[in-house]
């Protein structure tokens, strides 16, 4: 039934001179998502609107599912498209649309016509009234409500006639690639994939780094992180995932630093290494899945101590969310099931029974001194282990 889609976008519409740039980026992201779908499509941009024409057979569900991953889209409107063969045919097409789309006719509606082609003989207001009449004639149970209709039936008169009434919500936000690039610290947990998605949604391209600690963490745990990256990549586009061997550093910290400070010191080295890779790869910030108070290493004092090693801004989009709110987003974006698979990440193995919750920066720095003979070479060696996995959907 639907041979075209109207794509609505919200925020990018207000970007003034940059609007062209944003629209073009959105078109590119739509094309990227459609490449995953069977069928032939044409994406067009006219007068502040984006249309997708379907040129072949296609799978409606698959297409809508993929469009729902394009950041910058606020709504996807599947449209019926017919040739302009006179006003009677137009009325007939709308009646037919209503009949097929709404088997149960007990609802209120309003027609909202837009005559983009000004030489069309019937004016918008007239189209509203006359098409409305035809619908009422055809279906006695149906009612008009011009103020709060259950269904708004849009009729657009362009070179062809378009009819739609359904708006499927997209992710919102801005097209990826319009706001630079950032480095996501991606673990196998629930929070960091959500954090990556939230920043990507604001138009930021994502690279990722994962610290593994073989043999303490398994190959399967690494695969899980790559799987999560692939799920995030549905929204963010291709992700360059850097896998860093962290075992040597972790063992050194374990051996030489107080055990209640293990996690904090480890987190500081993760941030340092992530930042080094970020700077090499033109990332303008770091992203983590931290949330205030969630665990000992995420008290506000711990976050301050972790943050102290970074010069790039650290984005923590989950910072004010409760765990359940983060879980809700992970379910929505489809990462939850993978996140809860039971493979150890390196943080869960080297954990102290009673980690500090209010670390003191000077004390932490003093204990990091215990590593000074070896740590610079270890950091360099860790950077040398960088295994790059290009993750695409
Ligand atoms: P998540 O669910 O994202 O794993 P978490 O609640 O388990 O988070 P932590 O393990 O303390 O919290 O990690 C806090 C953040 O540090 C994570 O959200 C992630 O951004 C980063 N991080 C933790 N472990 C790793 C790792 N092995 N590799 C890369 N980043 C990591
Ligand atoms: Mg974790």
Instruction: Enumerate residues 6+ apart whose C-beta is below 8 A from 369.
Output: none
- Packed helices 219-236 and 323-333: angle between N→C axes, nearest 10 degrees: 70
For 20-37, what is the mean pLDDT? Answer: 92
Rounded distance from Cα 221 to ligand 1 centre (Å): 13
Q: Is the model's pLDDT at 93 over the cut of 60?
A: yes
Q: Is the model's pLDDT at 351 over the cut of 90?
A: no
Q: What is the dihedral of CA 168, 169, 173, 176, to 10 degrees?
A: -40
pLDDT at 354: 87
Out of 10-19, 247-256, 333-342, which region has the weakest mean confidence (pLDDT)? 10-19
pLDDT in tens, 178-228: 999 999 999 999 999 999 999 999 999 999 999 999 999 999 999 999 999
Q: Is the model's pLDDT at 13 over the cut of 70?
A: no
For 270-284, what is the mean pLDDT? Answer: 98
Confidence of residue 48 (pLDDT cuts 50, 70, 90): confident
190 lines ligand 1 (CB under 6 A): yes
Confidence of residue 368 (pLDDT cuts 50, 70, 90): very high
Q: Of the ligands numbered here, which is closest to the C-alpha atom of 298? A: 1
- How far is residue 39's CA from residue 42's CA, in Å, rounded to a whole number? 10
For 4-22, what is the mean pLDDT? Answer: 81
pLDDT at 385: 98
289 lines ligand 1 (CB under 6 A): yes
Question: What is the pLDDT of the chain when averaged over all its residues?
Answer: 94
Strand order, beta sheet including 205-212: 314-315, 286-287, 181-185, 205-212, 239-245, 387-391
C-alpha pair distances (Å), 205 with each of 197, 233, 253: 10, 10, 33
pLDDT in tens, 136-156: 999 999 999 999 999 999 999
301 lines ligand 1 (CB under 6 A): no
| Residue pointed to by tokens 């003989």 | 121
- How far is residue 276's CA from residue 98's CA, in Å, rounded to a whole number? 58
Strand-pair partners of 210 = 243
211 lines ligand 1 (CB under 6 A): yes
- Classified as helix, coil or strand, 210 is strand
pLDDT at 15: 63
Percent of the chain residues topping a pLDDT of 90:
88
Rounded distance from Cα 265 to ligand 2 centre (Å): 15
pLDDT at 349: 63
Rounded distance from Cα 345 to ligand 2 centre (Å): 7
Confidence of residue 14 (pLDDT cuts 50, 70, 90): low
Confidence of residue 345 (pLDDT cuts 50, 70, 90): low
Q: Which of 182, 184, 185, 333 to mutate to test the pocket of ligand 1 (most atoms within 8 A of CB)?
A: 185
Residue of the CA atom closest to atom 2 of ligand 1: 189
Check: CB of residue 70 under 8 Å from CB of residue 150. Answer: no
Residue of the CA atom closest to atom 18 of ligand 1: 289
Rounded distance from Cα 222 to ligand 1 centre (Å): 13
Check: CB of residue 98 under 8 Å from CB of residue 135. Answer: yes
Rounded distance from Cα 23 to ligand 2 centre (Å): 37
Q: Is the model's pLDDT at 347 over the cut of 60?
A: no
Cα maximum dimension of the chain: 87
Q: Is the model's pLDDT at 21 over the cut of 90?
A: no
- Classified as helix, coil or strand, 349 is helix
For 230-259, what is the mean pLDDT? Answer: 96
- How far is residue 228's CA from residue 340's CA, in Å, rounded to a whole number? 11
Question: Would you say the pTM of this structure is higher than 0.75?
Answer: yes
Q: Which of 191, 228, 323 to mutate to test the pocket of ligand 1 (most atoms within 8 A of CB)?
A: 191
Q: Is the model's pLDDT at 348 over the cut of 90?
A: no
């Amino acid at each position: 039934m639907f041979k075209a889609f109207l794509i609505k976008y919200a925020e990018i519409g207000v970007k003034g001179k940059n609007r062209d740039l944003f629209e073009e980026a959105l078109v590119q992201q739509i094309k990227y998502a459609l490449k995953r779908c069977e069928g032939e499509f044409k994406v067009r941009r006219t007068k502040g609107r984006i249309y997708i024409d379907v040129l072949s057979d296609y799978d409606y569900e698959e297409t809508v599912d993929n469009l729902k991953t394009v950041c910058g889209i606020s709504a996807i409107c599947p449209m019926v498209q017919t040739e302009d063969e006179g006003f009677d045919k137009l009325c007939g097409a709308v009646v037919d649309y209503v009949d097929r789309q709404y088997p149960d006719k007990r609802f209120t509606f309003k027609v909202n016509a837009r005559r983009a082609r000004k030489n069309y003989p019937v004016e918008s207001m007239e189209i509203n009234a006359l098409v409305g009449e035809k619908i009422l004639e055809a279906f006695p149970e149906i009612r008009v409500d011009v103020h709060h209709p259950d269904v708004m039936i849009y009729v657009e008169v362009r070179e062809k006639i378009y009819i739609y009434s359904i708006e499927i919500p997209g992710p919102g936000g801005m097209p990826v690639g319009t706001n630079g690039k950032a480095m996501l610290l991606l673990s196998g947990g629930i929070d960091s994939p959500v954090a990556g998605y939230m920043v990507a949604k604001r138009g930021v391209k994502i690279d990722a780094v994962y610290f593994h600690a073989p043999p303490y963490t398994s190959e399967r745990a690494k695969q899980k992180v790559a799987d999560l990256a692939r799920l995030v990549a549905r929204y963010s586009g291709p992700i360059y995932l850097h896998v860093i061997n962290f075992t040597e550093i972790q063992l050194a910290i374990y051996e030489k630093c107080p055990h209640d400070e293990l996690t904090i010191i480890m987190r500081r080295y993760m941030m340092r290494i992530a930042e080094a890779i970020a700077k090499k790869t033109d990332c303008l910030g770091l992203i983590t899945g931290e949330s205030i108070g969630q665990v000992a290493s995420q008290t506000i004092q711990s976050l301050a101590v972790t943050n102290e090693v970074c010069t790039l801004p650290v984005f923590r989009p989950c910072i004010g969310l409760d765990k359940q709110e983060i879980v809700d987003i992970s379910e929505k974006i489809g990462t939850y099931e993978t996140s809860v698979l039971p493979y150890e990440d390196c943080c869960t193995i080297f954990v102290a029974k009673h980690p500090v919750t209010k670390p003191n920066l000077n004390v932490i720095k003093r204990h990091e001194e215990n590593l000074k003979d070896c740590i610079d070479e270890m950091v360099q060696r860790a950077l040398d282990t960088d295994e790059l996995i290009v993750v695409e959907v």
